[in-house]
Amino acid sequence: MSIHIEATQGQIADKILLPGDPLRAKFIAENFLENAQCFNKIRGMLGYTGTYKGEKVSVMGTGMGMPSISIYAHELIVDYGVKKLIRVGTAGSIDPDVHVRELVLAQAAATNSNIIRNDFPEYDFPQIADFDLLDKAYHIAKDLGLTTHVGSVLSSDVFYSNMPERNMKLGTLGVKAIEMEAAALYYLAAQYHVQALGIMTISDSVVNPEEDTTAQERQTTFTDMMTVGLETLIR
């Protein structure tokens, strides 16, 4: 048992999906996993372990932002031996060619956070996905006929930005979308030599705001990324 996760050893699989919303974790457990058992309720951050196509798989919420995902991912890796971690969450498009409900695979994550810079102030240390997971996820998504974009995202510390034009400028430089967790997850994966990937569904668009989805849709209907994430974990 770690500080923020009440599971005992063996209750968590070595491969896990990490949605930000704990209710999305519950949705995945109830709709995709067989014989799912809840292993965590501390702070309402629900976690479950079950089987997917006969493989033991876990899913757990991480909350919003890099400090929150850093706590849970660190404990999952260090205290429970998780080796494959895939974030499945939402993101906002800043690329006019990336539309709502399409998938983005975060090949790399730029960030305005100081979490990494505090450790390496003299470097712009690149945060990149595990290539094996990225390659598998891309081909799985394409085989399913899903519109899928591969590229950089921005992991931001700020949701309500006072300078959104800066973020939009990144879109002209090839950054696909804004989210709030991938860079921290990739940094932890690099530290502990485990595999990590971010799979995001576009839930809203800075450049095409008329496409935005509702909170209820974001919570329960973005099932394509869940399928891609689970299939990637077991291959």
Is 14 tagged catalytic? no
Got the DSSP string for the chain?
Answer: --SS--PPTTSS-SEEEE-SSHHHHHHHHHHH-EEEEEEE-GGG--EEEEEETTEEEEEE---SSHHHHHHHHHHHHHTT---EEEEEEEEEE-STT--TT-EEEEEEEEE--STTTTT-TT-----B--HHHHHHHHHHHHHTT--EEEEEEEE-S-SS-S-HHHHHHHHTTTEEEEESSHHHHHHHHHHHT-EEEEEEEEEEESS-GGGPPPHHHHHHS-HHHHHHHHHHHH-
180 annotated to bind ligand: yes
179 annotated to bind ligand: yes
43 annotated to bind ligand: yes
20 annotated to bind ligand: yes
Active-site choice (135, 204, 212, 224) = 204
89 annotated to bind ligand: yes
100 annotated to bind ligand: no
88 annotated to bind ligand: yes
Which residues fall in the annotated binding site for phosphate?
A: 20, 24, 43, 87-90
Which residues fall in the annotated binding site for a purine D-ribonucleoside?
A: 4, 179-181, 203-204
Which residues fall in the annotated binding site?
A: 4, 20, 24, 43, 87-90, 179-181, 203-204
Catalytically active residues are 204
